[in-house]
Amino acid sequence: MSEPFEGTSDVEELRVSDAMVTNVVTCGPDENVTKAAQKMAENDVGSVVIVNEKGSIVGIITEGDIVRRVVAKGLDPNRTLVRHIMTPNPVTIYEDAPLSAAADLMSRKRIGHLPVVDRDGRLVGIITRSDIIRYAPGLLEILYLKSV
């Protein structure tokens, strides 16, 4: 896992913890892609955070990853393991970071799903572009216009 982003801001700004979702869908790196996709569908989410047996974040996969790295290549999702298509060491952010820092980070890294960790590095949530727009529509410009 890469070092979580901290960001800086004034005290009254919304924090990542204000907008994140806490029921993060996870799976192990040795599960097959079909199982991960089923978890996404059952929970109506666009990503799954990959954790090892200790619960540490080791990767992330999105719907787009499944399309580009499995379907488009004609791979069998029942025989393809998550570890082979996941993005390893995903970018993360601290739960107490400013929401604007999450928007800026997503824009700069061109990502739409950002695992959220506490100061001990434990997974505590996930935040998406949609979550940010829902809680702070004023950050729309940061999310989309900077990445163009």
Per residue in 36-91, pLDDT tens?
A: 999 999 999 999 999 999 999 999 999 999 999 999 999 999 999 999 999 999 99
Domain assignment of residue 137, yes or no:
yes
Domain assignment of residue 7, yes or no:
no
Cα→Cα distances 114→11, 74, 85, 133, Å: 22, 28, 17, 14
Q: Is the pLDDT of residue 7 over 70?
A: no
Summarize the confidence of residues 108-120 as an average pLDDT: 94
Number of domains into which the chain is organized: 1
CA distance 86 to 29: 8
Domain assignment of residue 52, yes or no:
yes
Per residue in 120-135, pLDDT tens?
A: 999 999 999 999 988 8
Domain assignment of residue 67, yes or no:
yes
Range in 9-13, 55-59, 134-138 with the lowest mean pLDDT? 9-13
Element (H, E) at 50: strand 47-51
Domain assignment of residue 9, yes or no:
no
Domain assignment of residue 40, yes or no:
yes
Range of the domain at 26: 16-144
Domain holding 66: CATH number? 3.10.580.10
